[in-house]
């Protein structure tokens, strides 16, 4: 193993804590408490997504998290003007621009940096005027990487969704999202070659981005199994992971939560 590998920044996405809170519309669980637990246990960065529909993180959460965080806050948002105005005032450590559709369950693909170059470029300009560095969430292609550089982004986050989907189909016969359900019928050798192809795209676009001076993050659908290969791509120096960490925390915490309630509900 080479000993000059750069360190990896782990960004933990805590949107799902707010998803759980919104299910009851109360103040529990509190994303601010999640921030503290993440920071105390090795997270290098907190990632939150201020969506146009505010389905999980609200403006007030973002404000409190940015004001109180002992670690950098990476705020994801769309290029919607109302959101960009709010985000410029919030002053997160970095903004990651993502595509957003109201009806989607989660961010489905990378930004259309070529088709929407002008609008994305304008959003970047405004964020830079507010002294906020910008990362662009893109599909892993050379064209998207080159365009991100042209648009003056400091960083790109490569969408690992295709890789994660194919990996899940090979190992559990379920994609990490259910969008590509038709691919479940693909034979194993086809899935293997798709996995290789999706990994190579990540590898080559990460290398390209690094070569032209962009920092490189990766995220979406990464979990305790598929993250290992991503670690082999030296050019990637940051991971943003949400769903799998929060999902695991339910089970690592459920035993204690039940025991404590059992203790309280015992009569002597
Ligand atoms: N990176 C970006 C840009 C995202 O939009 C998301 C999902 O909000 C993530 C990373 C985290 O994805 P996951 O929850 O699948 O780990």
Domains annotated on the chain, with CATH: 9-264 (3.20.20.70)
Which ligand 1 atom sits closest to the C-alpha of 13?
A: 11
Q: Taking 70 as the threshold, does the pLDDT of residue 247 lie above it?
A: yes
Q: Taking 50 as the threshold, does the pLDDT of residue 2 lie above it?
A: no
**Which residues lie below 8 Å from residue 227, measured CB to CB, with a gap of 6+?**
239, 241
Determine the pLDDT at residue 179: 56
Q: Taking 90 as the threshold, does the pLDDT of residue 172 lie above it?
A: no
Determine the pLDDT at residue 98: 98
Task: Give the residue whose CA is nearest to atom 12 of ligand 1.
Answer: 220
Q: Which residues are catalytic?
A: 49, 76, 220
| Cα dihedral 226/228/230/233 (nearest 10) | -160
pTM of the model: 0.94
Determine the pLDDT at residue 5: 65
Which ligand 1 atom sits closest to the C-alpha of 217?
A: 1
Give the Å distance between the CA of 240 and the centre of ligand 1.
6
Q: Write the burial class of residue 234 (CB in 10 Å: 0-12 exposed, 13-18 middle, 19+ buried).
A: middle
């Amino acid at each position: 193993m080479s000993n000059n590998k750069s360190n990896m920044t782990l960004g933990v996405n805590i949107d799902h804590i707010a998803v759980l809170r919104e299910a009851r519309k109360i103040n529990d669980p509190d994303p601010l408490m999640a921030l503290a637990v993440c920071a105390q246990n090795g997270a290098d960065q907190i990632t939150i997504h201020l969506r146009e529909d505010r389905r999980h993180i609200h403006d007030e959460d973002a404000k409190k998290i940015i004001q109180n965080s002992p670690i950098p806050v990476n705020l994801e948002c769309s290029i919607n003007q109302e959101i960009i105005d709010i985000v410029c005032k919030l002053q997160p450590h970095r903004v990651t621009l993502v595509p957003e559709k109201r009806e989607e369950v989660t961010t489905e693909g990378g930004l259309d940096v070529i088709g929407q170059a002008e609008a994305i470029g304008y959003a970047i300009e405004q964020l830079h005027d507010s002294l906020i560095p910008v990362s662009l969430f893109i599909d892993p292609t050379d064209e998207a990487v080159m365009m991100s550089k042209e648009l003056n982004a400091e960083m790109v986050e490569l969408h690992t969704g295709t890789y994660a989907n194919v990996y899940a189909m090979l190992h559990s016969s379920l994609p990490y999202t259910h969008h590509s359900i038709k691919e479940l019928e693909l034979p194993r050798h086809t899935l293997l070659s798709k996995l290789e192809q999706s990994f190579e795209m990540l590898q080559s676009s990460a290398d390209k981005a690094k070569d032209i001076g962009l920092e490189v993050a990766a995220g979406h659908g990464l979990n305790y199994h598929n993250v290992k290969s991503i670690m082999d791509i030296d050019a990637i120096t940051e991971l943003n992971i949400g769903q799998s960490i929060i999902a695991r925390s339910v089970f690592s915490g459920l035993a204690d939560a039940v025991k404590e309630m059992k203790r309280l509900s015992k009569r002597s």
